[in-house]
Amino acid sequence: MTTQVTVERVLNNNVVVAVHPNNDEVILIGKGIGFGKKQGDAVTTEMAEKTYRLEDASIQEKYKQLLPQIDEEFIAFINDIMHHIEERMGSKLNEHIHIALTDHIAFAIKRMQEGLEFTNPLLIEIKSLYPREHEVAKEIVGMINERLQFEMPEGEVGFIAIHIHSAITDKKVTEINKDSELIQYLTNLIEDQLSIDFDKQSVDYHRLVQHLRRAIERVHKGESVGERKKLDDLLKMEYPLCYNLAWKLIKVMQQRLKKPVDDAEAVYLTIHLQRLIS
């Protein structure tokens, strides 16, 4: 549906801030939409490739401050990236990704041009935890490489995957990173305690990481997996090594997350651990 809006501020030739008839501020992005425009001029939303309402005032202000610092053609490219993510994920993105991912990609490119490269120590965990987001992020990095004619480091796939996951789950990037770091710590502890080296491409490793992720999500939500007392006693007797390690993992989770962990999680963790060593 086409709506006429009033230009409030021209950020550049391709981006304007406008006032919607319902008095909301909107950001319109479209090739040449701001060319020759001034405050008070009328434009229609049909002229824009994308219209962002950005209901959070602080996010909108940061976005308005960020855009003038970025090449105009690149803003249109970022818009294409957002479209690609929405189509591939089949989900509407939380509005915070517009500033977070734009800022991240612009800064990553600047680092590359200056010869600086950041490694991503959580890349393997991210690939296992968020395979769909990782796949789309790989496509985004491919789009960037093709446009700019250079190779971004593989670690950027992981960073972008986290931003995508954040945008479709409404979780903060910092929270997702903390959970990923905790899972990495737990898997390292398992390797050490069981004296094994994980094949991090294996199905068993993927299952373990996914189970730890679901367990952490249950802790965040305060969910219970139910009473398993009889099975608990059996596993304690049959698999004492894995049972005791499961409780160590639970204690670490409680300390790191600062929340109680359902005792029944020990049952499922013991079964996963026993599968790994058998």
Chain centre distance of CA 90: 15
Cα(78)–Cα(101) distance, rounded to whole angstroms? 9
173-277 matches 56-171 in CATH topology: yes
CATH of domain 1-53: 2.30.24.10
Tell me the whole-structure pTM to 2 decimals. Answer: 0.84
Residue 55: is its pLDDT beyond 80?
no
- pLDDT tens-digit readout, 60-98: 788 778 877 888 778 878 888 988 999 999 988 887 787
Give how far Cα 208 sits from Cα of 204, 214, 251, 271, Å: 6, 10, 17, 10
For the chain, give the number of residues.
278
Which element (helix H / strand E) includes 142? Answer: helix 131-148
Q: Where are the domains of the chain?
A: 1-53, 56-171, 173-277
Which DSSP symbol is given to 264? T
* C-alpha angle 147-126-167 in degrees, rounded to nearest 5: 65
CATH 3.60.15.10 assigned to 173-277: no
Residue 89, pLDDT score: 95
Q: What is the mean pLDDT of the chain?
A: 89
d(CA 190, CA 201): 16
What distances in angstroms separate CA 156 from CA 10, 81, 255, one per listed residue? 32, 15, 30
Distance of CA 121 to CAs 3, 22, 91, 100, 159, Å? 47, 46, 28, 20, 10
pLDDT digits (tens, 9 = 90+) for 222-277: 988 776 667 888 898 999 999 999 999 999 999 999 999 998 899 999 998 998 88
Alpha-carbon torsion (263, 265, 269, 272), positive or negative? positive
Question: Is the Cβ–Cβ distance between 27 and 63 less than 8 Å?
Answer: yes
| CA atoms of 137 and 142, how far apart (whole Å) | 9
pLDDT for the residue numbered 52: 78
Task: Work out the widest C-alpha separation in the chain, in whole angstroms.
Answer: 78
Q: For tokens 């991912």, what's the residue? A: 101
Alpha helical stretches, state H, 16-116: 57-66, 72-89, 97-113
Least confident interval from 117-121, 179-183, 193-197: 117-121
Supply 238's token pair: 């049959």
Q: Which fold has domain 56-171?
A: PTS-regulatory domain, PRD (1.10.1790)
